[in-house]
Every structure is written in structure tokens, then in C-alpha cells.
Structure 1
């Protein structure tokens, strides 16, 4: 009864802490994205796409190699996730079908045991699906980023940049599923380790998700980028400038009116 009471109290409390932190992170990404690493990375990727696609014949090899590295990272996470799903399924089926499983109480052997492993399995399945969708978006971007026909089409370049950010966001969601699986894995050893991990994880994730003391340096860097022409972008008709309106609108919307091509 003591373990059951701890499960009823500590497990929902720990999951609530994790949920509150991620709700705060989502709101911050929407309305103050430059405070988060996700927002800063999205802005840098957008600027990178514009500089690459304004001279695709010169920068095509660099673009394909960079996107290939991201695809390999997503493939690795997806492979690990589906492998762990298979291992968890084998462990659960073996344990529940063992001869001693019938002698255990319904609480320990059938209900909580299944819930623990099923929650971990769901996390890894989500990670697998997100990483595979990330590979899908990045594969499309690898074709479009080197298309010479899209060189002078601002709307097309913004579409490619939006797809790249979506693929990277899905990769971040897959990695986030790995983080969430840590406290669920510790739940196997009891509700107390799981609750302690849920209390520690928001501090670790806050350090990883926010810019922190580097905010001023990042803002100065972006101001320098916005004040100068992109050196790698040279056209016979003009030079593309980077505008400072990238993250004034919510990051996850389609209002990516960020750059204007200044045609000479």
C-alpha cells in the first residue's frame, strides 16, 4: 500500500513538473524565441538558406553535405529508438509470461509493470516517428536547396527555409522524447527516483534550451549580421540583405516575412 500511495502521488507530481516546464518553453518559443536556443537556431538556419540559395551553383556541395550530416544524426536517433522499442517489447513479453508472474499480485505484475514499460515504449516510438519525419523534410530540402531555378524567387526560398526549420524542429522533438524517457526509466526502480529525476530535469533542460548569459552576445552577433551584406551572396543584379524582422512574429507560424531582396 505504501508503494501504491507513492505511485499515486509522486508520479503525477513529477509528470506535472515536466509538463509545466514544457508549456513554459512552448510559450517562450512562440512569443520570445530569441530567448531560446531553438529560436536562435531557426534564425541562423533561415539566414543560411538565403545565403546558400542565392548562389546554388557555388554553395551546392556545402549545402548537400550539411543536410546529409543532419540526416545521418536523425537516422541514428531513429535507429536507436526502434531498437530500444524492440528490446522493451521482448522484456515485457518475457516477464509477463514467466512462470512466477502468476503468483504476483495484480498491482505489481500486471498493472504498474505494464504501465511503466508502456510509457517508455511510447516515448521511444514518438522519438522514432519524429526522427523519421525529420529525415523526410531534410531529404526534400536537399533537392530544393540546390535548384538554380529557385535562385531569384523569394517565396520559394522561404518555403525551403520553412521546411528546413520543420525538419530541425522534429529532430528536436525526437531528442526531447529521449529526455522524457529518463524519469520514466527510473520509475522502474520506484516512484522516488522518478520524482527526483523529474525535479532535476527541468533545471538541466532550462540550461540547454535557453540562451542565458549569451543573450547579449547573440543579439550583438545578429545585429552585426543585419548591418552587413551576406558576403557569400553576390549576384549580377544585386545583393541580398538580411532584415531584422525574423523572430518578431511567432516562430511556429507561416509568417516568415524575414528577408527582402534589394535589387540594384
Structure 2
């Protein structure tokens, strides 16, 4: 064979990482230039419209908005707990099974201690990135909760929109870090499963990240005072006239 088994990691692992990073750079370019073609841009468009409508609702209807944001906050907190738990398990596994002969026999590639250490450190790094991203996501959702529940204020809608969108984006970043960690997890069993998983992951993500639904052109919301005046006028017109005298 023209490539030695010990050198497979040098060629295949960087190739798999380049494939993953190239796809996500392309996805970022699409989000910035043509967000309507991506699911992230489609969802952010709908979330901004949702925040705008909820900020115009009555105080008695704010419970629904707080419930939705709290659900996202709980999901981000749960994923952060999962990430740090998996990171801890990887660290424990690294400390106890670095010389596991059974695993080394199943690997077709470099099984030197330095390469094994690099596998676990890289995998642990992506789990920590996911943990930090989910924590930031929960933080922004908590901030959005404070903003949207502030009574008797002229809070700009853009402030709440920015907090919700940032929370969603950090959640997406955490999920992407978990996708990277999934491919690196297979690197433990050799560079060939890792590069195959990278190609399969890019194909699946390209299908999931592509949006074919056109963005809904939400109409500008009517002014609440105008709606109130129209309603009062209709009620006044329908009110029975009482004869005098």
C-alpha cells in the first residue's frame, strides 16, 4: 500500500475536518448573503416577527411569550448539562483507557500514545465549546425574559429581538459543535470512519439546512391606539340610541 497505516491519520483526519469546516463556512456565507435559502435564516425571520407581535400584546397575554422563551432556555440548559457530562466521561475514559489493547487492535491507523491523546483532547474541546455555547444561549434567553416581562415600559422591540436571535444563534453553534464531536468520536476507531462520517454529516446537514419555503412577508402591525379607536368607534355605532324626553 502506498500510504502506511501510521500515516493515515495525517491525511484523512485533516481532510475530514476541512470538509466539515468548509461546509460551515459556506453555510455562514449563505446566512449572511441569502438567509432565505437557509433554515437558520428562515427561523430567525419568523422569530423576529413573533417578538414584534408579542411585544404589542396585552400584559395578560405575556405569559405565552414567557413560556416559549423559558422552554428554549430549559432546552439550552439541558443541552449544556449533556455536553459537560459527555466531556467529563471523555476525560475519565482518557484517563483510564489510554493503553487499552482491545481498542488499539480495532483501530486501523496510528495507535501511538500521542495520537490517542490528541483524539481525546480534540473531542473534549468540542464538547466544551458546545457547553459554553449552550450556556450563552441560556443567558440570552434569560435576558429576553427580563426585557419582555418589564411592565409599563417603552422597551424597543429590537432589544428583545436581538436577545432572542442571539440565544438561538448560540444554540445553533452548540449543536454544530456537537456535530463536530460526533465525527471526532469515530476518530477513536480510526481515521477511515472519521472521514466517512464527515462526508455523511455534510450531506445530511446540507439537506437539513436548505430552506425551500419563501419567507412570509409579515405585514406591519397596526398601531394599538388606532385599533382601540376603531373598536371604540364600532361599539359606539352599534350602541342603541336612547330617546330623550
TM-score by length of 2: 0.83
Task: Report which of the two structures shows the higher radius of gyration computed on alpha carbons.
Answer: 2
Indicate if the aligned counterparts of 1:56 and 1:145 stay in contact, CA closer than 8 A.
no
Structure 1 pair 122–72 and aligned structure 2 pair: CA distance change class (3 A): same
Aligned counterpart, 2:190: 190
Quick one: distance in 2 between partners of 1:99 and 1:25? 40
Secondary structure of the equivalent of 1:120? helix
- Write the mapping of 1:72-87 to structure 2, written as runs, cut at 5 A: 72-87=74-89
Change over 3 Å in CA distance of 1:34–1:79 after alignment to 2: same
Pairwise CA distance, 1:196: 0.6
Does the residue aligned with 2:152 lie in a helix, a strand or coil? helix
Residue 199 of structure 1 deviates from its aligned partner by 1.0
Matches of 2:63 and 2:101, distance apart in 1: 59
Tell whether 2:55 aligns with 1:53: yes
RMSD between superposed Cα atoms in Å: 2.2
TM-score by length of 1: 0.77
1:57 Cα deviation after fit: 0.3
* Secondary structure in structure 1 of the residue aligned to 2:149: coil
**Distance in 1 of aligned mates of 2:202 and 2:58:** 41
3-state SS of the aligned residue for 1:147? Answer: coil
* 1:120 is aligned to 2:123: yes
- 2:27 maps to 25
Cα pair 1:126 1:177 within 8 Å, conserved: yes
Cα deviation, residue 97, structure 1: 7.6
Q: Does 1:236 align with 2:239?
A: no
Q: What count of residue pairs does the alignment treat as equivalent?
A: 219
CA distance in 2, matches of 1:81, 1:124: 5
Q: Indicate whether 1:4 and 2:3 are aligned.
A: no
Partner of 2:177: 177
Aligned to 1:246: none
- 2:163 maps to 163
